[in-house]
Amino acid sequence: MAAYQAAQKLGIPTQQGCIFSTDTFYNNDPQRWDIWENHGILGVEMESQILYTLAKRFDVKALSILTVSDNIRTGKEASAKDREQSFMNMVKIALEIG
């Protein structure tokens, strides 16, 4: 909740919700995304699972702040400028709550 509140304070648009963490870079089954979407999954990524596993194991806090870089369904990718801005926004949020 602190990250969401920090983003609001900084005027950075955000979404909160469930993500799907997997070790598969891309899945070739287009219907698979329908299943995830029907369960309210907002996105797919590859790192948060181990972050939260280790945080639990060592009894420390952890937070995954994510940004959209490309759309699996449409194939659309964010421009380099948009990616840079998104990454800077993530850093601003992290510094605000850190």
For the chain, which residues score pLDDT lower than 70? 25-27
Overall domain count for the chain = 1
Tens digit of each residue's pLDDT (9 = 90 or more) over 37-52:
899 999 889 999 999 9
| pLDDT value for 11 | 97
| pLDDT value for 22 | 86
| Cβ contacts of 87 within 8 Å, gap of 6 or more | 67
Distances (CA, A) of 90 to 42, 49, 58: 17, 19, 24
pTM of the model: 0.81
| pLDDT value for 1 | 84
| pLDDT value for 75 | 83
The answer to whether 7 and 93 are in contact (CB under 8 A) is: yes
Please identify every residue annotated as catalytic. 70
Residue 46 belongs to domain spanning: 2-97
Write the CATH number for 86.
3.40.50.1580
Q: Give the DSSP H or E segment for 82.
A: helix 80-97
